[in-house]
Amino acid sequence: MSAAVVTPSVQVKRSGYARAVRAEWIKTSSLRSTWILVVLAVGSLVGFPVLVGPDWIDFAGGSGAESVDAVSLLWIGVDFALTLVAVLAALLATVEFTTGMARNTFTATPTRGAVLGAKATVGGLFALGVGLVGFVGAWVASLGTFGDAGVSIDLTDGATLRLVAVQLLALVVTAELAIALGVLLRSSVGAIFTIVAMQLILPGVLSLVNSDIARWVSAVLPVRATSAAALTEGPADGVIGLGPNAGVAVLVAWAVVPMLGALVSLRKRDV
C-alpha cells in the first residue's frame, strides 16, 4: 500500500491598498530623479524669497506690510515648484507603463483602484512634504529680511493661515492632477505639458480674449482658482471671478474629477 502524497496548498496573498502604498513609496523613493526633483522644488521655494528679499524690504517699508504680505513673499517661487512637483508626479504615474512593469504591479495588486489610490497617496505626500519643508526653509532663510522690514509672520492670523493652507493644497492638487493625466495619457511628456499649459500659457492667452466666456474659463483654471481661494473676500461687483470658498471647491475638483476619469480608464484599458 503506497503512502498518500500530501501536497501543501500555497496561498497567494494579494496586496491591498496599504501594501500598494508601501510598494509605491519604495519604488518612488529609490529613484535618484525623485530626490533631484524634490531638492530643486524645495530649493526654488527657499531660494526665490532670498533673492527678491532686498527689493521686498523697500516695498514693505513703504507700504506697511503685514503678516500675509510676508507669507506671500515666502511663496514667490511656488510656480517653479509646482512644475517640478508635476514632473515628479507624472513620472510616478507613467514610468511603469513605459517600462512594462505595470503588468507586475497589477499582478501583485489586481485591484487597480488600490494602485491608483496608492500612487495618489505617495504623490500627495511628496507634494505636501515639498511645500512644508520649502515654506519652513524659506521662513528661516528670510528672518533677516523680515527683521529689516519690521514684519513678522503670525500664523494665528486668518488670512495668513489661509494663504499657507491654500498653497499647500495647490501643490497636492497639482500632484494628483499630474498622476491622473499620466494615467489617462500614458505619457509623462503629455501630462507635464498639459499642466504647464494650464498654469503658465492659457491664463495669458485667455486674458487677451475680450469675452465673458474666456474670463470664466480663465477664472476656473487651477492657478486662478488658487489665487481666489487664498483671498478672504470675493471679486468686486461686476468682475468675473471666484469667491474664496468657490476657489477652494474648484481647486479640489481639479484633483477629484481627473482622478475619477483615470480610475475609469485604468479599469477599462489593458495595461
Are the C-beta atoms of residues 81 and 134 closer than 8 Å to each other? yes
Residue 152 pLDDT greater than 70, yes or no? yes
Dist CA 196 CA 66 (whole Å) = 31
Condensed to tens digits (0 to 9), the pLDDT of residues 11-51 reads 445 568 888 899 899 999 999 999 999 999 999 999 999 99
Of 84, 37, 82, 73, nearest to 173 by C-alpha is 82
Model pLDDT for residues 75-100, shown as the tens digit of each residue: 999 999 999 999 999 999 988 877 77
Cα(220)–Cα(216) distance, integer angstroms: 6
Q: What is the pLDDT of residues 170-211, one digit of tens each?
A: 999 999 999 999 999 988 899 999 999 998 899 999 989 989
**What's the chain's length in residues?**
271
- Residue 17: C-alpha distances to residues 61, 108, 119, 120, 226 (Å): 52, 11, 10, 11, 30
Are 188 and 182 in contact, with CB atoms under 8 Å apart?
yes
- Compute the half-sphere exposure of residue 79: CA atoms within 13 Å on the CB side of its CA: 13
Q: Is the pLDDT of residue 104 over 90?
A: no
Question: Is the pLDDT confidence value at 5 over 60?
Answer: no
- Would you state the pLDDT for residue 64? 56
User: 3-class secondary structure for 128-182?
Assistant: HHHHHHHHHHHHHHCHHHHHHHCCCCCCCCHHHHHHHHHHHHHHHHHHHHHHHHH
Task: Examine the pLDDT at 271 and tell me if it is beyond 70.
Answer: no
Instruction: Please state, in angstroms and rounded to a whole number, the distance separating the CA atoms of residues 142 and 192.
Output: 31
